[in-house]
Amino acid sequence: MKTEILANTQTQQAASWLGQGELVAFPTETVYGLGADATNPTACRAVYQAKGRPSDNPLIVHVDGPQMVWQYAQKDERAEKLMTAYWPGPLTIILKLKPQTLSTTVTGGLTTCAFRMPDNAATLTTITQLGRPIVGPSANTSGKPSPTTAHHVYHDLNGKIKAIIDDGPTRVGLESTVIDLTVKVPTILRPGALTLEQLQRILGTVQTDHHPVQAGEIPKAPGMKYKHYAPRAQVIIVDHPRDFPQAIAWLQQKKVHFAVMAQQEVLDNLDLAAASATFSLGDSLQSASHLLFAGLRQFDLVPEIQYILAQGQTDSGLGSAYMNRLSKSAGNQHFH
């Protein structure tokens, strides 16, 4: 199969192929998703196969608005308030399903499902033209850094999917915040660009779930159980810029090829003669979050790189989302 690249205006073609059971990657404001008709179990199974994704890792369902959600999920006042405040946007809401509405292929066998309305005109138009929701895990090989450009998707999935809607680089660069409303106290299962503080403004008390998902347990949201966002090289988190010279010296002694990924101000103050490559995360936490996956993917194209020294951030607000992804890509390895 030849994977075709569609312009962001070719939504009718994308909707037509999705309606025929084909897989079409689509842009959002966070990362690119791998789309299939959420009401077609065969197409949804093909998503798992294309990605090499474990079948007990549930899929997020993308909709064109709240009305589409309530065809499948049980009404929830808290969800309606969140949708009014933050949709379209980087927020995924887990809700209880109405019986026998979506297949277990989508839900991983759970009676709950995660819903999101992405902030991207081409994708919302495609869903409306299809007339049904689409599943949309990140459009990459499972476990690898998420794709933030159509080129990233093509690199991983060329020949495995029908098409990619190219709408340029994504704006946010980290996946959506996931909040579980099927429990008594609303719980963040995955941090994202929409912060705990923003959710508390609407809901009051919100907690964060850090529990490790056990071997036999089905996760309610992606990114909770399996290794994620990992390039070939071993990522090592450098928690403070002052520790970079020591970390660089340590890798020099090991006589290995390594790369450094940090904000520009940090790079400007380092002796980088020994590094095989560098990648600038820009000048702010926002730019670092936006560029994180792009940097990890760029180093994947340089096979000799064995280690990546990556700058850590304060674990609060948007920094929580950044550190969540970076910690997973590093297998939680920090330089000490």
Q: For residue 132, say whether it is annotated as part of any ligand binding site.
A: no
β-pairing verdict for 258-262 and 307-311: parallel
Q: For residue 62, say whether it is annotated as part of any ligand binding site.
A: yes
Q: For residue 146, say whether it is annotated as part of any ligand binding site.
A: yes
β-pairing verdict for 33-37 and 134-135: antiparallel
Q: For residue 53, say whether it is annotated as part of any ligand binding site.
A: yes
β-pairing verdict for 33-37 and 24-26: antiparallel
CB atoms under 10 Å from CB of 208, counted, come to: 12
Structure tokens at 242: 């002052």
Q: Amino acid identity of 300?
A: D
Nearest to 147 by CA among 128, 185, 174: 174
Rounded Cα–Cα distance for residues 7 and 76 (Å): 37
Q: For residue 30, say whether it is annotated as part of any ligand binding site.
A: yes
Q: For residue 105, say whether it is annotated as part of any ligand binding site.
A: no
Q: For residue 316, say whether it is annotated as part of any ligand binding site.
A: no
Q: For residue 329, say whether it is annotated as part of any ligand binding site.
A: no
Distances (CA, A) of 220 to 107, 112, 164, 192, 223: 8, 8, 27, 16, 10
Rounded Cα–Cα distance for residues 295 and 66 (Å): 35
Q: For residue 176, say whether it is annotated as part of any ligand binding site.
A: yes
CB atoms under 10 Å from CB of 127, counted, come to: 26
Structure tokens at 77: 């006042």
Q: For residue 290, say whether it is annotated as part of any ligand binding site.
A: no
Q: 141 with 86: CB under 8 angstroms? A: no
Q: 141 with 156: CB under 8 angstroms? A: yes
User: Would you put residue 160 in left (φ > 0), alpha (ψ -120 to 50) or beta?
Assistant: alpha
Q: For residue 112, say whether it is annotated as part of any ligand binding site.
A: yes
Q: 204 with 184: CB under 8 angstroms? A: no
Binding-site residue ranges for L-threonine: 30, 62, 116, 176
Binding-site residue ranges for ATP: 53, 57, 112, 138, 146, 190, 229
Binding-site residue ranges: 30, 53, 57, 62, 112, 116, 138, 146, 176, 190, 229
